[in-house]
């Protein structure tokens, strides 16, 4: 573990301490580590230095919109290589929310998410990308038997 010291003016230090209490951190170091990870991940994504990712796509849509639910489901099936899981919730008589867990090449995940959020009737879409090493553990067997068609399972390890 490497240590470093930073200086903050009193006002910023008090605001930071308030923030870490609100978020439930035990100390400043834990909070600074998380802030640094977040900034590094954002930087990697902006510079396109994160070839693979894990992601959460969420959106709200009107289920009365003509064939929309079927189009969204068909798109997920067409991209089964990216789609890990979907959570569907009924919000009221007209609106549903879905949260889709995605995994794969960052460019493909972004393109798929953009296409889903662009569907007519989809509102309030958001994508949360996390750079990941999708090759981590791909060849590990761990002594588990997954059957002849699936001798290995994929590990998705966040980059930082």
What pLDDT does residue 149 have? 52
Is residue 25 over pLDDT 60?
yes
Is residue 63 over pLDDT 80?
yes
| Rounded CA separation 35/28 (Å) | 11
- Report the SS3 class of residue 113: helix
| Rounded CA separation 41/128 (Å) | 11
What pLDDT does residue 84 have? 95
* Total number of residues shown for the chain: 160
What pLDDT does residue 157 have? 67
Mean pLDDT score, 124-146: 70
* Radius of gyration in angstroms for the set of CA atoms belonging to the chain, rounded to a whole number: 20
10-46: CATH topology is Arc Repressor Mutant (1.10.1220)
Structure-token match 């609106």, residue found: 95
- Report the SS3 class of residue 143: coil
Identify the CATH homologous superfamily for domain 52-133: ACT-like. Chain A, domain 2 (3.30.70.1150)
The predicted model scores a pTM of 0.68
The domain segmentation of the chain, as residue ranges, is 10-46, 52-133
Is residue 109 over pLDDT 80?
yes
């Amino acid at each position: 573990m490497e240590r470093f010291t930073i200086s903050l003016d009193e006002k910023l230090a008090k605001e930071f301490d308030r923030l870490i209490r609100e978020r439930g951190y035990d100390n400043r170091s834990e909070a600074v580590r998380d802030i640094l990870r977040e900034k590094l991940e954002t930087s990697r994504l902006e510079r396109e230095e994160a070839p693979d990712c894990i992601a959460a796509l969420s959106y709200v849509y009107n289920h009365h919109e003509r064939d929309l639910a079927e189009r969204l489901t068909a798109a997920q099936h067409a991209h089964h290589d990216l789609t890990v899981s979907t959570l569907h919730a009924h919000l009221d008589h007209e609106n549903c929310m879905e949260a889709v867990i995605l995994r794969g090449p960052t460019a493909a995940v972004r393109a798929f998410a953009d296409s889903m959020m662009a569907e007519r009737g989809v509102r309030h879409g958001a994508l949360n990308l996390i750079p990941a090493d999708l090759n981590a553990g791909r060849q590990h067997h761990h002594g588990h038997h997954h059957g002849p068609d699936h001798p290995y399972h994929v590990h998705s390890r966040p980059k930082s």
